[in-house]
Structure 1
Amino acid sequence: MTRAVGIDVVDLDRFKTVVERWGDRLLEKILTPAEIKHCRGKAAALPSMAVRFAAKEAFIKCLNPTQYRLFTWQSVQVVNAETGKPSLKLQGPLADCLAPVRVLVSLSHSDRSAVAVVIFDSQD
């Protein structure tokens, strides 16, 4: 049973402008060190960073007020399986709160935008 759906679209030109203005300070706030390392290892680093930001924004849209209070940018990490399939790794109190919920994510990006969809699915 689907409990919540969140979607977010990031304009890559706007994201690039913000990253150029704030640099590593911004990236270190919104991405985990592992995410930054992963993205910087790719030819298309900026879209990879933007789609991870979109995933976290979509994730936030699924949270209820109690869960939202537990959210930090570092408590959610986009990880990829060897096949490239993305998933969200939750950490800290937020992970404990959402333990009974299956969190699904789909990511995509083009040369203009990055999009993420997050679904909270009950496991019962």
Structure 2
Amino acid sequence: MILGIGTDLANIDRIAATLDRFGARFRDRVFTETEQRKAERRRDVAGTYAKRWAAKEACSKALGTGLRMGISWKDMAVSNLPTGQPVMAVSGWAEKRLAEMTPPGHEALIHVTLTDDHPWAQAFVVIEALPLRTAAAPPPRRGT
């Protein structure tokens, strides 16, 4: 079952200007060390940050809060699997909120997708609740 959906569109030039103006103060307030390492080694530094900014905004919307109620930018972190697929991890208040919205007997799975086409970066986040598997139960069928 779907627990939440969020999307955000970020202007890469706006993020670039913010990086130029505030530098490390902005990066350290919004992005985890892992996110910063990823962005700083990319050719399109601002675009990489903009996609992660959009993902955090989208995740906060999927959690049903937006960026309020105690959620911190760093409570939501984007990393990548070896295949390049982005994944979202939550901690702190965002993790608590996710636990509150997940029905008993279920586990939450956060799906995230990122894209950009200068000057825009976009993210979609879908939070899905999957029934917990028991030793006797087969895994749920997907796509049918």
**TM value normalised by structure 1:** 0.88
Shift of 1:29: 0.7
Q: CA deviation at 1:70?
A: 4.7
Give the TM-score normalised by structure 2: 0.77
Q: Flag the structure with larger Rg.
A: 2
Q: CA deviation at 1:90?
A: 1.5
**Structure 1: tracts of 5 or more residues without a match:** none
Aligned length: 123
List per-residue Cα deviations over 1:62-83 (Å, max 9, x = no partner): 1235xx5352111111010011
Percent identity of the aligned residues?
27
The letter for the 2-side match of 1:72 is S
Task: Name the structure with the higher helix share.
Answer: 1
Equivalent of residue 101 in structure 1, options 92, 108, 119: 108
Could you say which residue in structure 1 is the equivalent of 2:71? Answer: 71
Q: Distance in 1 between matches of 2:3 and 2:91?
A: 20
| Structure with more contact order per residue of length (Cα contacts < 8 Å, sep ≥ 6) | 1
How far does residue 53 in structure 1 lie from its aligned partner after superposition? 0.5
Deviations 1:14-64 (A, max 9, x none): 221122111110111110011101110111111011100000001111123
CA distance in 2: counterparts of 1:63 and 1:26, whole angstroms: 23
**CA distance in structure 2 between the aligned counterparts of 1:43 and 1:92, rounded to whole angstroms:** 31
Following superposition, which runs of at least 4 residues in structure 1 exceed 3 angstroms of deviation? none
| Cα pair distance change 1:39/1:116, threshold 3 Å | same
Structure 1 residues 12 and 94, CA gap change in structure 2 (3 angstroms): closer
Runs of 5+ unmatched residues, structure 2: 100-106, 132-144
Cα distance in 2, alignment partners of residues 98 and 63 from structure 1: 7
- Aligned-residue CA RMSD in angstroms? 1.8
